[in-house]
Structure 1
């Protein structure tokens, strides 16, 4: 049953008590609003669907993002944590003042449209909405703060952008390696060679340890991968040469097992070599534009396919779990395919000649 009382400030407080439900109360500016809320609350309790929305009304998106970053984000990989913090800052700056109940599908759709109008890429906006959607899922399922539904589910997300098809030409590879080797730290050049030979991700190379590499068997065990499944990568002679050079680094700390090691951070923990600054210098000195370190993985996968390896073989090396993703990483040059087609044509023509060789020409039929 609802009870309405007028406060000393001139506002109306509605209190709803019903057996089997916790007492619920809310203060309104007018008596009409308090009566409407009390009637609606009693009806929801009678139908067994009442949910206290007060926590969601008080909690702003900015505060929810802070809680998400402190409770949920630390459970993810370091690279994912850094990326989420960047996306969270943008969401908080634009929508942080809204309470969670005020973020409706219309608000989310308007945010999406503003971002796209500001020339943000479709992938950037799609990932921002994915983070926002997961925050609401956590708020509904774990925090239980009084939200009925996830507003992001009712909003169309941008389609993924076109896959990068950046290939590294032989001339660019030569210039890039030359620029990398001219730097004081040789590890960048070795990482580039290893990435082109194995299709490893940058993070996988950074986390590679001496105990994971067997140069005699020519294998490298990757324990910590993007999809959380370890895999063993075969090593080419170029990969073995790069790893052997890195292992023989004379300045390697005795207590460090990382093959490509960096300097200790503020907390005294030594992590993998941070290639970013050196990569920027190397690409600038080599005069190469629009090339990312991750493009080396694309290049390596494409080269494996051009060598004639099957999809399953390439996927076993690269770690792709679906043929669709493998296809997004594979970009074959038409000029390279021309040479392979010529080789097939030559072999086909030779087989045809062999089929007809030794067969006597039919004798022309003559009339008497």
Structure 2
């Protein structure tokens, strides 16, 4: 049986001591509430379904996010870690003061709706909800906080959207190439041209090391990729020429194996070349402010398909895990398809 005692502050404390279960206690404003809780808790213990909610009631979402970043996020790729730091800030601003036990599906849905109403893209909100859902799943399965359900699991997620379809026309490419080639650091021009030739991701390009490059075979070996699968990227003659220029760079320091190197950090080690702010400034100056660097990957993949490579061949080069994802990256120009139809039907 539970013990119900009145505390010096005038509240009522219920204490349950039952063989095979840890001592459980909770304080209530009225004696009736304490008795009701004790009765239902003892019943759950008898049925073997009792789960203490105390840890989830004491742990705030802000505290859970801090632990998640320290224990879970640090095991992920650096680019993912940076993204999750920004996502965690948005989640903490809305949920931070709530206990984990107080976060309901209704509250999560409210967060979703407010973010969408603020103009955030569907995919942005989906990513934020995915991180929140993984936070709860980790807390339930690994931290044992005493929750029986994940409040993110059953709410409606925003649709993924059609994806970007930005392509470069010849005039835009000429303006872009002229601008990056004219920059004082030649690495910017090499990186941009190399992206259009290979379809490699920004992080894959800037993280390239000389040991990964085989110019004789004209391939680049990538082991640390976004999806975790290693791949060999074949190089066009233009791409191989770009890498040759980069590796022959007379300003290359002796303390790094990076092809596209930055300045030394606080620890003395050089990091990859950082060009994102410069990219935004240059694209804005040449009237291409709507062009993202990642669009160059879309452009390269689309050109590979237009060149006649099969889906399997393109996926082997680009590293897409599924044909469905590859299709989201492939945007064929109607006028090119017209020309191909004319050749085939002639």
Shorter-chain TM range is over 0.9
Q: Does 1:223 align with 2:234?
A: no
SS in 2 for 1:5: strand
Partner of 1:251: 251
Worse-matched range after superposition: 134-143 or 269-278: 269-278
Partner of 2:98: 98
Summarize deviations over 1:200-219 as a string: whole Å, max 9, x none. Answer: 00110011110110111111
Partner of 2:125: 125
Summarize deviations over 1:153-182 as a string: whole Å, max 9, x none. Answer: 121111102210000111111111111111
SS in 1 for 2:309: coil
Q: Is the 8 A contact 2:280 2:289 kept in 1?
A: no
Structure 2 distance, partners of 1:265, 1:224, is: 22
SS in 2 for 1:143: coil
Matches within 5 A, 1:1-368: 1-346=1-346
Partner of 1:362: none
> TM-score when scaled to structure 2?
0.98
Structure 2 distance, partners of 1:340, 1:216, is: 33
Larger Rg: 1
Structure 1 distance, partners of 2:122, 2:280, is: 25
Structure 1 distance, partners of 2:322, 2:13, is: 58
Q: Is the 8 A contact 1:2 1:17 kept in 2?
A: yes
SS in 2 for 1:328: helix
Q: Is the 8 A contact 1:74 1:81 kept in 2?
A: yes
Structure 2 distance, partners of 1:274, 1:52, is: 49
SS in 1 for 2:46: helix
Structure 2 distance, partners of 1:268, 1:78, is: 19
CA shift at 1:38, angstroms?
0.6
Summarize deviations over 1:258-285 as a string: whole Å, max 9, x none. Answer: 1011112223331111120221222123
Structure 2 distance, partners of 1:289, 1:207, is: 25
Q: How many residues align?
A: 346
Structure 1 distance, partners of 2:101, 2:155, is: 16
Structure 2 distance, partners of 1:116, 1:277, is: 26
Ranges in structure 2 where 5+ consecutive residues have no aligned partner: none
Q: Is the 8 A contact 1:180 1:278 kept in 2?
A: no
SS in 2 for 1:152: coil
Summarize deviations over 1:90-114 as a string: whole Å, max 9, x none. Answer: 1110111111111011111111111
CA shift at 1:55, angstroms?
1.0
Q: Is the 8 A contact 1:60 1:98 kept in 2?
A: yes
Q: Is the 8 A contact 1:261 1:270 kept in 2?
A: yes
Structure 2 distance, partners of 1:163, 1:169, is: 19
> TM-score when scaled to structure 1?
0.92
